[in-house]
Chains A and B, each alone.
Chain A
Amino acid sequence: MRVPYWNIDYGFLIDILAIPALAVFLSGLYGHYRKIRKGSERLKTRSDKLPWKFGPVFVRSVLTKGILGTVIYRKFYTGLAHGSVFWGMLVLGLGTTLAFANLIAKVPVFSGSFNRWFMAFGLDLAGVCVLAGLLFFLLRRLFPPDRLVTPRERSGFFPMACLLAVILVTGFLIEGMRIRASAPELGSFVGNFVAGLIPGSDHITSYHRYLWWFHGLLALAFVVYIPYSPMVHMVLAPINTALADPRPGPKMGVIDFSRFDDESGEEMPSMGVAKLADFSRKRLLDFDTCLWCGRCHEVCPAAQTQQPLSPKMVMATLAGFLSANDFTDDSLADAIGVDALFNCTTCAACMEACPVSINQPKAIMKLRQNLAMERSELPELMSKAYNSLEQRRHPFFGTGSGPKDWQKGIDVPIFAPGQTEYLLWVGCAATYDERAQKVARAMVKILSAAGVSFGILSKPRCTGDPAKQIGNEFLFTEIAQENIAEFDELGIQKIITLCPHCFNSFTRHYPELGGHYEVIPHSVLIGELIAARRLVPEKSDESICLHDPCYLARRNHIEDPPRLALEAVGRLVEMPRSKRESFCCGGGGGNYWSESSGVRINQVRAKEALDTNTDVIATACPFCLLMLTDGAKKYTEDQKVFDIAELIAARLNLN
């Protein structure tokens, strides 16, 4: 039977020292809490009842993303190394707790097969796993991938990993010395091996004693230093995942502008965010939790095309203000760069890739809202789109099309209250852009062929989504409220959208303004109509690759229905980045109206699609259609990009 604190006098002192160490540790954590509490809003809890949700805590998320770290394993080797360190440390921590339990309550952990298989073998194995994982991380810090060092690297991981490695190595040495001075121990395969390497000496027990204290004190130092180092992510990451609403996308919500009407208040709240104190507590927790791992940087379409934006840079800059306790400096947007903030396409690829559930686009959009609404600072083309939206209620300034041009030569019913089932919401792109108009025409053909009861508004409207993406929530709210009033008047309950941005606005933002509808994206409806055999398109051997619009696949998890529709007319081929990992077309976040220079996102994506060598590139969003059509022009003169509706309509035999 193993003797606890073998060869150590007053070993319990290390347990006593653990008390102040724990106090410093907790005080460090309290420091984080105090900073986060300076945020402008408390955590908003969703009122709807969800399974696995208790108060503000999303239990399933904390178990999967927070503790199991499921997202980390998307990078296999990093995931494996992280898993080895995390689970290894957990087992070692348990071992230490059991040893303490043995000391104070004589829990028999050092005898029998439990000692052999857990306290000896199990803990040695855990130690080896942790060391192997640490070795991986240390090597990776020495030879870092681009994402770790761009735009800058977080200091603090390397020394903490070294410290932990020293603790582990000294732990094995102590074990080896104990075994060398006593007898080999069943199960302690590392200890026995190390013991074999240690030369015999009269001083071995003295060395053991010194090293034991050194090891113990180092371990306490490690614990003390956790809240003051990047290792605090061990605590913050599970909390952040627990509090992050697991619905996909940034969940921008709407702004109640009546708050700004009361000018008698001492301090007017800011529209959007100008200074750190304007951010909600959850956002501050995001900045504090960020690991600077750069996974977001790696998938960000803006960062990958050498534009000034990098979501990691945004997080790192804001974390800098947070750690400096600088809550009043209103130059956050300038510190990040106004151009960078407008580069964001709101594609949410960063959120999807983030291992600790950080909502980067929301922080970016909040800063953008302030630029748009308080500082009236917009890039030139976006400001033209904004002006057009404000004056004409559509953003397609300079369009050569009238509102009814797309209907020329076809019969399009107008929504009749009490008679028509679906409102076909055409949206601004399919109304005012000549190329996208073909999508609306194709959809009319499809709906008529399937015998769906549908009608359009007599006067075209825009959801206001471009205003929201540009950052002007006020204009969005105005437009949305006008639409809701008209829908109420017409008794509209069901809406078919041609554009995923409209779908997203109707389902995510309109309900918060009082507009509740059953909304279905056209690609989903087409899939359903085919499944119900209300549409029987002709199948061909044409190969088709699908570009998943961010606002369908990533932001609303609609991935399979468009594929089902396409499989009815051709042979589907997947792009390397598809479904939730789709790469943006570059048109989101108002960037359809942007002057990009250098490498262009739409060209990168079009190239990826063309490289599949399929006959056709399909998509299900008019903005993606326009961006990819434009992007593909760099590589081919052939018209290869089509909307799902166009592909299906072309294969309908209407005789």
Chain B
Amino acid sequence: MKIAVLAKVVPDYEVPAGDFELAGNRAHARYTRMIGLYDENAIETGIQLKEKYGATLGIVSYGQSEDVPILRKAIAMGGDSLHLVLGESDDPYVIASNLKIALEQLQDVDLVLAGQQSADLDRGVVHGVLAEMLGCTFLAQISRIESDQGRWTVCQNHESGSRMLQFSGKAVLSITSSPENVPRIPAVRAIMAAKKKPVEKLQGTDAPPMQVEEVKVEIPKLESVCEFLPFEDMQETSRMLLARLREERYL
């Protein structure tokens, strides 16, 4: 069994709103870079499958050489090999075409896992486009995966419940976070070993981008409006607070 996990290096996804700023329509370069939140869930899911079914696990990324030290974490967590396609595009079609190069190089990948959406652009489209390009099944929001006699059984999470699905053949799955796939902390020995692992760097391709133009990028301005509620009766104040929160659509 061969599994590939797509991992993207993104700017810190926990930068407080008040501190967030753009430079050239993207997050400022001063923010620390790290593997995306859901991508780590996907890596964890991949490692669990590797441990359970003896699969090999390749980590595939599209980005720049500077991302390599960050991506090594995926190897330290349990990935077997790291493949980086070099490129800088933000276009989902270009990214998918480039990731396809690495997947083809890996040959016969049974399952491609990816975080349900990247932590920077939050689009959640690349894996769908990639599945289309690879001509295989695409399922989103998957939290659990099992394999039995060539068939996959997966659990698809929804806001209000879950669905069990079965399919056979190759697939691209977008992985959501669940209590079962909390990313593990790599052991120090694994971190040390990961630092020495060779990385396969592949030249990216200039695939035609989607015919979409980015006109403007805006981030909400942080505003704080302070409103004091009268405090005489605690229960009454709680009721008022609840009503106000609903009114403002926070709840």
Chain A residues lying within 8 Å of B241, measured Cβ to Cβ, are none
| A400 pairs with B18, CB closer than 8 A | yes
Q: Are B12 and A472 closer than 8 Å at their CB atoms?
A: no
Q: What is the count of residue pairs linking A and B with beta-carbon distances less than 8 angstroms? A: 54
Tell me if A392 and B189 are in contact (CB < 8 A): no
Does B32 belong to the interface (CB within 8 Å)?
Answer: yes
Distance from B222 Cβ to chain A, minimum over Cβ atoms (Å):
10
A373, B34: Cα distance in complex, Å = 21
How far does the Cβ of A272 sit from chain B's closest Cβ, in whole Å? Answer: 10
Known contacts A402-B19, A405-B18; A472 and B188 CB within 8 A of each other: yes
Inter-chain contacts of A403 with B (CB < 8 A): 19
Look across to chain B and name the residue whose beta carbon is closest to the beta carbon of A263: B193
B209 interface hit (Cβ, 8 Å): no
A271 B18 Cβ-Cβ under 8 A: no
For B195, the closest partner residue in chain A by CB is A261
Nearest Cβ on chain B to A67's Cβ, whole angstroms: 43
How many residues of chain B are within 8 Å of chain A by beta carbon? 16
The A-contacting residues of B in range 143-191, CB under 8 angstroms, are 184-189, 191
Q: Which of A397-439 contact B (CB under 8 A)?
A: 397-405
Task: Across the interface, name the chain B residue whose C-beta is closest to A403.
Answer: B19
Residue of B nearest to A399 (CB): B16
Given the known interface contacts A391-B34, A392-B12, A393-B32, the answer about A386 and B19 at a Cβ–Cβ threshold of 8 Å is no
Evaluate contact between B192 and A257: CB separation under 8 angstroms.
Answer: yes
CA distance A400 to B14 in the complex (A): 9
Q: Is the CB of A373 within 8 A of B187?
A: yes
Contact at A387–B18, with CB atoms within 8 Å? no
B185: contacting residue among A378, A392, A393, A400, CB under 8 A = A378
Q: Please report which residues of chain A, range 345-389, place their CB below 8 angstroms from some CB of chain B when the two chains form the complex.
A: 373-376, 378, 383, 386-388
Set A261, A399, A400: member contacting B192, Cβ < 8 A: A261
Interface contact B187-A374, CB-CB below 8 Å: yes
Indicate whether A374 sits within 8 Å of B189 (C-beta atoms), given known contacts A391-B32, A393-B32, A403-B19.
yes
Near B by CB (< 8 A), chain A positions 244-270 give: 257, 260-261, 268
Q: Is the CB of A474 within 8 A of B32?
A: no
**Residue B199 interfacial (CB < 8 Å):** no
Contact B18 A402 (CB under 8 A): yes
B15 within 8 A of A: yes
Q: Are A397 and B184 in contact (CB under 8 A)?
A: no
- Cα of A379 to Cα of B185 in the assembled complex, Å: 11
Write the chain A residue with the least CB distance to B196: A261
- Give which listed residue, A271, A387, A391, A472, contacts B189 with CB less than 8 A: A271
Which residues of the other chain, A, contact B14 by a CB distance below 8 angstroms? 388, 392, 397-399
Kindly state the separation between the CA atoms of A516 and B192 in the bound complex, as whole angstroms: 27
Q: How far is the CB of B243 from chain A (nearest CB, A)?
A: 25
| Least Cβ–Cβ distance between A255 and chain B, in angstroms | 10
Contact in complex: B12, A373 (CB < 8 Å): no
Give the Cβ gap from A162 to chain B, nearest Cβ, in Å: 51
Which of B12, B18, B186 is A391 in contact with, Cβ under 8 Å?
B12
- Chain B at the A interface: SS class: loop
Q: Smallest CB–CB gap between B17 and chain A, Å?
A: 8
Interface members, chain B 4-46 (any A CB < 8 Å): 12, 14-16, 18-19, 32, 34
Query: Which DSSP category, helix, strand, loop or mixed, fits chain A's interface?
Result: loop
Complex interface: chain A residues within 8 A of B186 (CB): 376
Residues of A contacting B189 with CB < 8 Å?
A: 260, 268, 271, 373-374
**In whole angstroms, what is the CA distance A399 to B19 when docked?**
11
Best-surrounded residue of B184, B185, B191 (most CB of chain A within 10 A): B185
Cβ of A401 and Cβ of B19 under 8 Å apart? Answer: yes
Evaluate contact between A386 and B192: CB separation under 8 angstroms: no
How close is B185's CB to chain A, nearest CB, in angstroms?
4
- A400 near B187: Cβ-Cβ < 8 Å: no
Measured CA separation A393–B192 after assembly (Å) = 18
Q: Is the CB of A271 within 8 A of B188?
A: yes
Name the A residues within 8 Å of B12 (CB-CB): 391-392
Q: Is B188 a contact partner of A374 (Cβ separation < 8 A)?
A: yes
CA distance A401 to B19 in the complex (A): 7
A398 contacts which chain B residues (CB < 8 A)?
A: 14
Contact A401 B16 (CB under 8 A): yes
Q: What is the chain B residue whose CB lies nearest that of A386?
A: B185
Complex: A391 Cα to B189 Cα, angstroms: 18
A405 CB, nearest partner CB in chain B, Å: 7
Are B16 and A387 interface neighbours, CB within 8 A?
Answer: no
What is the minimal beta-carbon distance from B69 to any residue of chain A, in angstroms?
12
Docked-complex contact B19 and A376, CB < 8 angstroms: no
In the complex, how many angstroms separate the beta carbon of B124 from the nearest chain A beta carbon? 22
Residue of B nearest to A404 (CB): B19
In the bound complex, residues from chain B placing their C-beta under 8 Å from that of A260 are 188-189, 192
Q: Which residues of B contact A397 (CB under 8 A)?
A: 14
Given contacts A399-B14, A472-B188, 6 further A-B contacts (CB under 8 A): A271-B188, A373-B188, A388-B14, A392-B32, A392-B34, A401-B19
B-to-A contact residues, CB < 8 Å: 12, 14-16, 18-19, 32, 34, 184-189, 191-192
18 A-B pairs whose Cβ atoms sit less than 8 Å apart in the complex: A260-B189, A261-B192, A271-B189, A373-B188, A373-B189, A374-B188, A374-B189, A375-B187, A376-B184, A376-B185, A386-B185, A387-B185, A392-B14, A392-B34, A398-B14, A402-B19, A405-B19, A472-B188
